[in-house]
Chains A and B, each alone.
Chain A
């Protein structure tokens, strides 16, 4: 860990000032400290955002839920409105990390969690995301954790967070503020970028941009929703695969609206439009669910270690829909 200077910042303007001077932000610190300990990141300066008034969940006038970027994962998971209206989000948070980490990590930081790709975290090996141009060790290496969707010949690293997968399902947006003070809303589905040939660029944020809040729109409260996470052990493990589903049935019991996203299998939270399309207008029964879910792994590119994720993804999506529809 290289020496760095540290200072808390009181407001967004001060944060922008420090960012312009080259500082990196730290909030919950749960991923940052790991990256520092493993020497993956070498910041010169850390600007501590915890003094900013960005914690807490509020209901907006139009019924949307606004989750401050510094809200702790546990605090969000426990929020009665969030639990009631958006079970998929609460369930994703419940299944994230450990209680201790959930007490520390922030929702804003969770969107920015870096990949768990083994090669990204071991600085003795080549990794395009960590060291652009050095090569991707995962393509022909130990890749059981890696992505089958959204990868490129430069990178197949998974975005490992649960929360953004659920947020895609509920059509959430991220409020970002740039160093000039301009604010903009970014759909969570467009927040993370595909690696392409620049895997080191992971999100739509520009250097110094600050996440202020996440907003779940009022219309998402009409949807029933559910999160299913598959892991190697019963708790405290990354998703091998996860599925977030949100949908509304019409009066005849047909799928009127549906959003489905997958985690653990892709380089970013992965929307499954084809599965959604196959469900729309149909009754949610076991056959329809199964026939639709087979489209989940459409376009998957598998490698030696991660081929299992293709069937697993189909089954996970199917399971989430079955459980949500009470079809078990």
Chain B
């Protein structure tokens, strides 16, 4: 096993692309994405896991990237909001968010969408009640919640 170190050249697979990035042991995955890789679609809201704006998929599971040291993502697959659309074609969850106006300011939106994608993959978007509960880790201060539920319901019905 490696000796403890303060900085690392990290290899992570972001949106299917192998990326190398120099990080401090202290650097969170969120800051690595935003400040080192300039993937700023993943948002910083609280940096304490309390708002969900930084939600990404780590190996297909929803996580808050602010509560993870970047170095602990070594070798892992990370999917961010930038990795969802196929070219010009929006992912069904993204399209449903636009159609249902499931946001206002848009800042929590990438986290909401990644959380919704995760919830649908996990098979946890089977009813409105379940969607509300499953999406409750993602705060929306503009209060678009009922539209978010409609969007997730729609996307889930299309196989999200």
Contacts and interface: CB of A to CB of B under 8 A. Distances in A.
Interface of A: 1, 3-10, 14, 18, 23, 26, 29-30, 33-34, 36-38, 45-48, 50-51, 74, 97-101, 103-104, 234-236
Given A1-B26, A100-B64, 16 more contacts: A3-B25, A3-B26, A4-B6, A5-B5, A14-B1, A26-B69, A29-B72, A34-B67, A37-B48, A98-B49, A99-B115, A99-B118, A99-B137, A103-B63, A104-B68, A235-B136
A47 B28 CA distance: 16
Interface residues of B, number: 38
Find the residue from A1, A36, A98, A100 having the highest chain B CB count within 10 A: A100
B133 interface: yes
Contact of B63 (A1, A23, A51, A104): A104
B1 A100 contact: no
A23 B5 CA distance: 12
A34 B47 CA distance: 8
A3 B133 CA distance: 37
B129 to A, nearest CB: 10
B16 to A, nearest CB: 21
B4 A23 contact: yes
B153 interface: no
A98 B24 contact: no
A4 B47 CA distance: 19
Interface string B1-17: 11111101000000000
A13 to B, nearest CB: 11
Contacts of A46: 25, 69
B51 to A, nearest CB: 10
A33 B54 CA distance: 14
B110 interface: no
SS class, residues of chain A in contact with chain B:
mixed
17 contacts: A1-B26, A6-B8, A7-B3, A18-B4, A33-B28, A36-B26, A37-B48, A38-B48, A47-B4, A74-B61, A98-B49, A98-B138, A100-B49, A100-B52, A101-B64, A103-B63, A235-B132
B119 interface: yes
- Nearest first, the 5 A-B pairs at minimum CB distance are A98-B137, A5-B4, A235-B136, A6-B25, A7-B4
Contacts of A3: 6, 24-26
